[in-house]
Structure 1
């Protein structure tokens, strides 16, 4: 099963558990986000990531170019639990 198939199955299972009013809120929020044009700014798969800087766990600036100077860079995005 492909990743797309797995994600589709997960969405369907989630929708089956979620009340219709909550689904409507989520769909509306997703459409609102799409209308912002955010999808037009996504870096395509296989493209080079633009240079960026982020704060580390101590609040210090970390530049992607500095990290790339040491070799390949892996980015991991996750939804935190604060």
Structure 2
């Protein structure tokens, strides 16, 4: 994923947290869940295990996708060959 604008993200998280009287960590977790859901919708299967992590220190976002290792992958979204794993 491309670099995030950390200043904007941090400001948005703080603003939402203050407006909704929530911890900033909770707001960040919701954003990560939304990114994972968007990835799943655009690239995967509905029930697929997907996790997103945002790093406000270095401006990166990572998406982790669980796939099953199989001999002959049929569904690229949920399966991967041993050679590619």
Q: Which structure features the higher share of strand residues?
A: 2
Higher-Rg structure is 1
Q: Which structure features the higher share of helix residues?
A: 1
User: TM-score by structure 2 length?
Assistant: 0.23
